[in-house]
Amino acid sequence: MKEFQIRPNPSDPRLTEQVAATDEEGRKVAVAVPAERPLTLYLNKREIVTMMTIGDYPEYLALGYLLNQNMLKAGDPVDGIDYDPDIETVVVRTPTATDFETKLKKKTLTSGCAQGTAFGDMMETFDAARLPAGARLKTSWLYTLSRKINSVPSLYLEAGAIHGCVLCEEDRPLVYMEDVGRHNAIDKIAGWMAINRVAGGDKTFYTTGRLTSEMVIKTVQMGIPILISRSGCTAWGVDLARKAGLTMIGRAKGKRFIVLSGGERIVYDADAKAVAEEARHLRRKGAEEDAA
């Protein structure tokens, strides 16, 4: 598959707004900040949730959300996905009834930004998931991925206050999504994978955000065996990754990274001493992300 089939578009005027501000020397400046707008999701005729999002790829976000919340199963038929920008609504239509009413009875507030709401039992399919043991990640691929992802123009670099998630294959970034919440960005990728019938068994998932429990659960549900982050992780995230046999790498910045789970998939084929340290502006962005 070719690189960057979808990539960020920081020049899209819908995704950022200019706001007046004052800098450290008292000067009036204009600052670009990410847009944030509501998107109400319906499954057939039932309202499910209103999400705060930057507004791009609403169809992928809607389908990925339903799949990652187990309201739809992989392979379930979908008649259509209708987005109406005027009323900020997206409707996913299925030919048969679903069990989402039961899901709505049970809600868990996740740790994701924008207070994402996960319906149903987050562990419903987690225990049964099986990730391919034969998947591998070469450290040379990891360094190449980090360099390519961190050098492509993005809202993350342009305006901050945003999370990025990237679906990768070997050393190639395939789909790069951004949003104000990391759970939105990963759901967009899940929706893209479902619509394009892309399997996760030979893929790697990269994120700028911290590795929390829901990030691990969603990655496992998508069948992706390797998860990489520029940021840190939570204790439960590590526990779940080890339970699922997920390879999890945190604090991947420049030549440095930490393997927290699934180290048997790592092939150390690159000399870390020959890898350049990360640029200062990226280290600053990483520090901001760790504090978020």
Alpha carbon 28 to its chain's center: 35
Closest of 136, 97, 102 to residue 121, by C-alpha: 102
pLDDT in tens, 50-109: 999 999 999 999 999 999 988 898 888 999 999 999 999 999 999 987 766 565 655 544
Residue 144: is its pLDDT beyond 90? yes
Distance CA 203, CA 130 (A): 14
Per the structure, the complete domain to which residue 77 belongs is given by 37-119
- For residues 107 and 246, membership in a common domain is answered with no
Give mean pLDDT, residues 4-21: 92
State the total domains in the chain: 2
* Domain co-membership, 102 together with 217: no
Residue 92 shares a structural domain with residue 232: no
75 in any annotated domain: yes
Torsion region of 251: left, alpha or beta (phi above 0 gives left; psi -120 to 50 gives alpha): left
* CA nearest to 52, candidates 105, 110, 117, 7: 117
Q: What is the pLDDT of residues 180-189, one digit of tens each?
A: 988 999 999 9
CB 257 within 8 A of CB 275: no
76 & 185 share domain: no
